Structure formats: structure tokens, C-alpha cells
Structure 1
Amino acid sequence: MLQIDILTLFPDSMAAVLGESIIGNGIKKGYLSIDFHQIRDYTLSKQARVDDAPYGGGMGMLMQADPLYRAHKAVCKMRGKEHIHTIYLSAQGQVYNQKTARRLATLDNFILVCGHYEGIDQRFIDECVDEEISLGDFVLTGGEIPALAVADSVGRLLPGVLADESCFTDESHWSGLLEYPHFTRPEVWNGRAVPEVLLSGNHEKIRKWRRREALLATRAKRPDLWAKFTPTKEDVKLLEEE
């Protein structure tokens, strides 16, 4: 079972999100466990303070190294380990993708550190953090939203969380392609009909149609992914079809 530990200033808010729907059901069934640790519980400040002004001046407040360090060490001790793979959600990190999610899903335990305010003291990063992850080239007010995204995207890859492995192996980014389009009832909506092939019952034709649509979608929407993708002989033939 995968154990995810999250260091945050807002544990209740995060627990409310991850305790629902698919991930929540996965937790209840014992496929993974997610625990939230309030960083303020580990400060020595009587006012439960965890931030201070940055040396050298500048705008904003910085999260102090010591409360984070104490929280980190407490979690490691709780799990009976000297160190647990630790990820800091940071705008300076490597951009997160499905490949990273698949790698993290092979671990038995990892810690997500949610910064806030202007960031966190670099000394904690140097002391405890193994990698930094970003959702993209933009800045958020804290690491909670990225941590939710990481926990959700990793958790759903674990055996048993989704009904079948094909639920994620057929999806966008698993094989380097975007996913094919989906349709459900009614057959005609606002004058737009479901493609006839999907109503045919011919599984091989449906498979080829979906593959071709995935190829076309990737080429049109994500030229960066398409440039890295190597089409098979069947893919080339499908793309040549009208």
C-alpha cells in the first residue's frame, strides 16, 4: 500500500478534497493512505508562528526551516525510516507529467511539502528535499493545489483504485498520445450525432477509429508531444485514410 504524507498549513481543506470520490474510495478500501500533517504543530513559537521576514529584505514572508524540519523528522520517525523520498511543490521544480506520476506510484511512501507565502527557507530544501515539482510555468499562493494534483494522479494509478488498468492506459499521455474523443447518450444532441462507427458493434473498427482520432488529436493539439512520438506502420496507414 502506498503511503503519502503531506506537510501543509491547511490539512483539513486538503483532506476534504482527497477524501471524496475515487481517491477517497481507494483510501477506504486500503489501496493507499494519505495523512496530512499540520506544520504549525511542530513550531516552538507560542504563537504557532512558522514564518518570518527574509534576510536581505524583499516582499512577503518566508516559511522557516525549523518547523518544516521538525515535521519532516516526525513523519520519518512515525514511518520507522531515517528518510522518506521528499518532494517540494515549487514553481522552480521540474514540470510534472504522467511519467513522473508513474514513477511515484512505484514507491511505498513519499512526502509532499506544501510551501506558502513567499516560499520556504532554502536550508530546509538542501537538508531534506529530494526533488522539486511544478505544475507549470506559473505561480500559486501555496503548494496545496499542486500536492492535491500529485496525490490524485498517483493514487489513481494504484492497482484496485480504478476498476481496470485500461481506465488509465488508454488515457492521454500514457503512451505519448492524447486520448480519443468520447460520446454518450443521446445519439444526437443539438444536431450533433455520435460517429456511426461507435454504434456499429465492430470492435476492431472502433479500435482503429479511436487510434486514428488519438493520433490526429495529438498532432493538432500538442505538436510538442507529436514531435517526440514515433508512429507505427499501422499508425501511418491510419493517418493516410480519409
Structure 2
Amino acid sequence: MRFDVVTLFPDFVRQCAAVGVVGRAQQRELLQVETWNPRDYATDNYRTVDGRTCGGGPGMVMLIDPLRAALKAMREAAAEPVHVIYLSPQGARLTQGRVEALAKLPRIGLLCGRYEGVDERLLAHEVDEELSIGDYVLSGGELGAAVIIDAVGRLQEGALNDAQSAQQDSFSDGLLDCPHYAKPVRHALGDVPEVLLSGDHAAIRRWRLKQALGRTWLRRPDLLVQRALDKESRALLEEFRREYAQSERERLANDAAEQ
């Protein structure tokens, strides 16, 4: 897979993509990350890439021509078709499902805006979709681009040392992930649940599913509304709710006793 990033800060993008899973994936030639600076395609002596917004008001807008020239050069740099994404708080919310769909594409272009954004006419003619990484505003699209490169890149075959890691991630099956533990088994902060030490794979699978269902119910109940639970999942979730209610009653009783 190849990522092409149109950005005024190419060093930032390259540095973000050089570490961790994405960095190793590039070393293994599973990913390629290239950057394109619109300033290199500006035609005046000042390498101007922005202008005042029409109609008045604060802030500057990124100009059509330098961006369009950078996108043209980007498209011509490789034979594969490129799917161009503009990082914008007005875009559709990025989800794991969208990440998985993007991971199947051979090439993705990421357009990073700055200032007040990009001239709307360029977006209408040169961009395939707009994506947002959350309901907040950043100084530019580079952090969003880095998020997409990481989220999509790690799903490439061979990028992770164990392919099951991606399958068990939060949101991969519509639920949050279950809790995880490592050695030592006994610690001042608590012990590892006995079921994880039992060697009973069926019991471990059931415990992990129950914890994933319960954690989703506690932290992201909206995800359960969107999911049709099978008979086992409904039973496990009800079991988790009962255990949680009992633990809360015990906690409140202990708090009252201490007072």
C-alpha cells in the first residue's frame, strides 16, 4: 500500500510514519509513504500557498493552484489509482469499519489543510471524501493524516507480528476490547484473574467476551444499540451486569462503613 500526503509540513509526516508498526512496515516494504509540499508548486517568488478569504473575516485559505499542481504530480507518480481524502472536522467520522475498507485500497492520498482550510472549489473537483478524526479542531490535517496512516497501515498483511492482534482490537467486532494482563501474576495492585491462568481455552474465550460486552456497556453503550447480540452474548452481558451491580453495592457499603 502507498500513502501520498500533500502537506506544508512533510518532515512532520515522515517522522510520524517512521516509528513503531508503520515504520517497521515501511522497512519490510509493506507500506510506502511519500509527501508533496504545495510550496514546491507555487509560481511566485514567495512560494505563496494561501490568500485572504473572500467576503472578509480572519484567517487565510489555501489556494487552488499550488494544491492542484501538487495533487497532479502525486497522481502521476505511480500507476495505481489514488483515493484522495481531505482531513477535515466537517468530514465523516473515522471508524474502524472505514479503516478496514481503506486498508483494501492500493493507494491513498491525504490532503492536509491549514489556516481556515482549503478553497471549496478544489475540494469539489479533486477530493473523493472528507474524513474527521473527532469533533474538535486542530491546527492542520497532519495529525489526522498520521492517524489514518497508522490505523490503515497496521492492517496490512505482515505489518503486525501476530495477525490476531488486529482481529482482537477494540471496534474490530463492534465491541471494546477486553482487559489484558501480564506477569507478575500476584502484585500489590491486584492479581491476574484466575480464569486466565486455567488453561481452559473455552472458559477464557467466554470470560474475554463477557468483559468486552461489559466494558462496552459501561463505556460505549451506543455500540451495543447498533449490534444484534446472539443468545450467548445476551446471557454473558446479563451476567456481567449482575456482577457489576453486586460489586457496586459492596463498594458503597464499604465506603459507608469507613465514614
- 1:72-111 CA-to-partner distances (Å, cap 9, x unmatched) read 0001111146x62110001110010101101111111110
Counterpart residue number, 1:99: 97
What SS does the corresponding residue of 1:226 show, helix, strand or coil?
Answer: helix
Aligned residue identity for 1:146: G
Letter in 2 for 1:65: I
Amino acid at match of 1:169: Q
Pairwise CA distance, 1:240: 3.8
CA 191–75 in structure 1, closer or farther in 2 if over 3 Å, else same:
closer
1:189 aligns with 2:187: yes
Q: Which amino acid aligns with 2:60?
A: M
Deviation at 1:55, TM superposition (A): 0.8
Aligned to 2:9: 10
2:70 matched to which residue of 1? Answer: 71
Rounded Cα–Cα distance in structure 1 between residues aligned with 2:71 and 2:171: 32
Gaps of 5+ in 1: none
Cα drift, residue 226 of structure 1? 1.0
RMSD: 1.2
CA distance in 2, matches of 1:18, 1:64: 27
Q: Runs of 4+ in structure 1 displaced over 4 angstroms?
A: none
How far apart, CA to CA, are the structure 2 residues paired with 1:130 and 1:92? 14
Q: Which amino acid aligns with 1:112?
A: L
For 1:164 and 1:47, how far apart are their aligned partners in 2?
49
Equivalent residues, number:
240
Q: Which of the numbers 157, 162, 174 marks the counterpart of 1:164? A: 162
Hey, what's the Cα distance between the residues in 1 that align with 2:113 and 2:188? 46
Rg larger for? 2
Report the counterpart of residue 144 of structure 1 in structure 2: 142
Per-residue CA deviation, residues 108-132 of structure 1 (Å, 9 max, x unaligned), is 1110000001101111101100100
Q: What is the TM-score with the length of structure 2 in the denominator?
A: 0.90
- The unaligned stretches of length 5 or more in structure 2 are 244-259
Superposition map of 1:1-242 within 5 A: 2-80=1-79, 84-241=82-239, 242=243
Distance 2:64 2:25 in 1: 33
Partners of 2:64 and 2:178 lie apart in 1 by 46
Distance 1:235 1:115 in 2: 43
Question: What's the secondary structure of 1:189's corresponding residue?
Answer: coil
2:12, 2:135 → 1: CA distance? 25
